[in-house]
Amino acid sequence: MAGGTSTPALAAAVTGAGALGSLGFAYTQPEGMQRDIDAVRERTGGAFNANLFGAPQPAAIEPSAQRAAIAAVSAYYEEIGLPAPQPVRPPYAPDLEAQLAIVESSRPPVFTFHLGELPARRVRHLQSLGIKVGGSATCVAEARRLETNSVDFIVAQGAEAGGHRGTYLRDPYDALTGTFALVRMIVRAVRAPVVAAGGIMDGAGIAAALALGAQAAQLGTAFIACPESGAARVHKERLLAAQEDETLITEKFSGKPARGLANRFMREMGAQGAPHLAFPAQNALTGALRAASAKAGNPDFVAMWAGQAVALARALPAAELVAALEAETLECLRRLAALRR
Ligand SMILES: Cc1cc2nc3c(=O)[nH]c(=O)nc-3n(C[C@H](O)[C@H](O)[C@H](O)COP(=O)(O)O)c2cc1C
């Protein structure tokens, strides 16, 4: 969970409890990646996952597009007490090659990428270093392509999922198949192991994913409210207050569609059809606004990523949550097995 939610403490606690902790490095500079990987290794000898976004940086942005995108957010900057936003300049995000160099030198046991693909040659090189490699798919075509590119496993990300849609071969709004349907279709379409993601918050969800033929489940939203997570306090509070699905998909925060708790920024920018820059330039443009809003405890301009099953979130320490998930999964499987009688 890039952007501050995943922390070495969270990843290490999850790994230490017997699951696979993840470090979301999409927005992390190489030095920070190395520091966090070392911090996880200091805390646990277990396997963990490092994750990057495979999205290419946009070409140069026209001044007119900059002006329009800035105009769309200026009033919010003023309202929160920030100086007027300035045109963003490349690089808008850390350099993917430099990030991959850290993955290659530090060799996390598992590496996954989201929002794109790596060529088969690169995947095989990572595998030759002893790294298990996975990629995200939001439709069957992406899963097939990832398999052609030799990944060890495929994360099937259903439309329920919190955070960025991993779609890279289609318009993301045409790739909103729910987890139930998507996992089953991908399991049938590829030979690689499938990891189900999207809307899974408890053992019943994990058991359902296993029943659909997934080998594992990937949970994001379920871990946001853990004390070890670095999510902003207002994000955790709103998440725990959610009574039902209160999420929307927006591209106005980063430039790519992502699901989060609905707030003023998402609603107003969406309703106006406000212009935005391409990913990740828009993420750079809204960065100061998001940070100031979070600091002020004001949910209006914070990207509070969350999946559709958000109302099932629990504020447990990560190790306790993993233990509860395991117990619930086994209990659910036992209950289902008893149906035979
Ligand atoms: C706060 C947050 C941040 C996320 N960041 C990433 C990320 O950096 N990389 C990634 O592959 N997926 C990311 N995701 C998506 C998850 O990998 C996964 O698809 C999703 O959390 C599953 O749905 P759920 O949130 O309903 O459990 C993020 C999700 C959330 C909620």
Residue 194 is given by DSSP the state E
Per residue in 263-296, pLDDT (tens digit) is 999 999 999 999 999 999 999 999 999 999 999 9
For the chain, the domains span: 8-338
User: What is the signed CA dihedral for 125, 126, 132, 133, rounded to 10 degrees?
Assistant: -90
pLDDT for 305 beyond 80:
yes
What is residue 331's predicted lDDT score, i.e. its pLDDT?
98
Q: Would the CB of 205 count as within 6 Å of ligand 1? A: no
Flag the least confident range among 57-71, 197-211, 224-238, 298-312. Answer: 57-71
Band of the pLDDT at 56, cuts 50, 70, 90? confident
Indicate whether 103 pLDDT > 90.
yes
For the record, the structure tokens of 131 come out as 């790294």
Q: Is the CB of 138 under 6 A from ligand 1?
A: no
Which of 256, 223, 298, 324 has its CA nearest to residue 115? Answer: 256
> What's the pLDDT at 68?
98
Find the mean pLDDT for residues 248-263.
Answer: 98
- Whether ligand 1 lies within 6 angstroms of the CB of 1 is answered as yes
Residue 52, pLDDT > 70, answer yes
Q: What is the pLDDT of residue 341?
A: 66
**Residue 59: per-residue pLDDT:** 81
Q: How far apart are CA 283 and CA 71, in angstroms?
A: 15
Instruction: At 47, give phi and psi (nearest 5°).
Output: -75, 145
Q: Which residues does residue 114 pair with via DSSP β-bridges, in sequence order?
A: 53
Residue 204's pLDDT is 98
At residue 57, the pLDDT reads 81
Supply the DSSP symbol for 104.
H
- The rounded distance, in Å, linking the Cα atoms of 139 and 203 is 25
Entry pTM = 0.98
Nearest-CA residue for atom 4 of ligand 1: 1
Which residue's alpha carbon is nearest to atom 14 within ligand 1? Answer: 163
CB-count burial class (<10 Å; 0-12, 13-18, 19+) for 44: middle
Residue 55 has pLDDT above 90, yes or no: no
Mean pLDDT on 320-325: 98
What pLDDT is recorded for position 58?
A: 82
Tokens representing 145 are: 């392509």
SS3 217: strand
Q: For domain 8-338, which CATH number applies: 3.30.70.120, 3.20.20.70, 3.40.50.300, 3.10.20.30?
A: 3.20.20.70
Give the tens place of pLDDT for each residue, 131-140: 999 999 999 9
H or E element that contains 185:
helix 179-189
163 token code pair: 């955070």
